[in-house]
Amino acid sequence: MGIVIKESRDVDKIVKLFEQHEGIPFTYLMNIPIVKTLSQLESFKIFVAEINDEVIGCIYSLNYIYDSGYIGGLLVHKVFRGRGIGSSLLKIALNSLNSKHVYLFVMEDNALAVSLFEKVGFRKIYRRLYYTISQPFNDVSGARKVTYDVEWHDLKNAIGFSERNGVINFGYYPVKITEEAFEDLKTKGKVLRYGSTIAIIEELHGLILEDKFYTFNDYVFRKLRGVEASKKIIEVNPFYTTLNPSDLASLLNHLLPIGEVHVRTYYGDPVASKLPLTGNIGALTMEYENKR
């Protein structure tokens, strides 16, 4: 019998596939709680490759917000690799999305996966860089005030915007910041300025799923059943008109009373890297433009 690729909601078979590959490089068991939880969402689709009713490959897609979508959880059984199954799963996942901009994360040293994604049409954007702030910075004057007087041209010309190709993290998943998206975020009070720092912020809900920690914004969280947030988090995507770490630190101090602050930026950020923090370098973000 040949290989069949189809949409499925049989999460147990996907869990089994991941568990069979535990310990093998680039097998991310953290995908299991995500698939189990997000399978509640109508915009979340799972696709599998089967042979004799046995799942030998999987992937998922998510229509997200601001005309952006996401693809993740790609895994092909080690015995069946090299047969084009990964490409077929990737293409069917792309076809399931009606988002113009589609994103995925991949470890930069996973050369085979990067090559596969590039062949399908994805391009490298930036490596993610994370900082977590739970205590205020000392020796920061805080003489200025946080304002909302940011225009589209201010953000578009800011340091870090072109370096990220206008892509930010927004509740874990990436979105493309177009002028339309910017104006909507500004209307909702999610675009701030402190001196030379411009930031797009989002309130997140921290969830413990199977002893692992995840963050989701309201767009996802309000659609989930049987989950409870463990903490409130403020996600910050910073951009800069000039290189002034003190302004960024002051803005983060301003946000700390709301909740723990997670800075989401790019590897090579010339301002955040100057703060007295230890950053975590994350996966490579890749982008695909859907020709609709």
Q: Kindly report the pTM of this predicted structure.
A: 0.93
Q: Are strands 101-106 and 68-76 parallel, antiparallel or unpaired?
A: parallel
Q: Tell me which residue has tokens 């003190």.
A: 246
Whether 37 shows a pLDDT value over 70: the answer reads yes
pLDDT at 1: 56
Dihedral sign for Cα atoms in the order 198, 200, 206, 212:
negative
Nearest to 36 by CA among 13, 65, 57, 56: 13
Give me the DSSP letters along 32-98.
HHHHHHHTTSTTEEEEEEEETTEEEEEEEEEE-STTEEEEEEEEE-GGGTTSSHHHHHHHHHHHT--
Read off the pLDDT of residues 220-273 as tens digits, 9 standing for 90 and up.
Answer: 999 998 888 888 899 999 999 999 999 999 999 999 999 999 999 999 999 999
Whether 164 shows a pLDDT value over 80: the answer reads yes
- Rounded Cα distance between 210 and 34, Å, is 10
Average pLDDT of every residue of the chain: 93
Read off the pLDDT of residues 185-221 as tens digits, 9 standing for 90 and up.
Answer: 999 999 999 999 999 999 999 999 888 889 999 999 9
pLDDT at 92: 96
What band does 291 get if pLDDT is binned at 50, 70 and 90? confident
- Rounded Cα distance between 8 and 67, Å, is 24
Sequence-separated contacts (24+) of 248-251 with Cβ below 8 Å: 248/194, 248/197, 248/272, 248/275, 249/137, 249/140, 249/275, 250/137, 250/140, 250/141, 250/142, 250/144, 250/194, 250/195, 251/146, 251/192, 251/194, 251/197, 251/199
pLDDT at 2: 85
Domains of the chain: 4-99 (3.40.630.30), 128-284 (3.40.630)
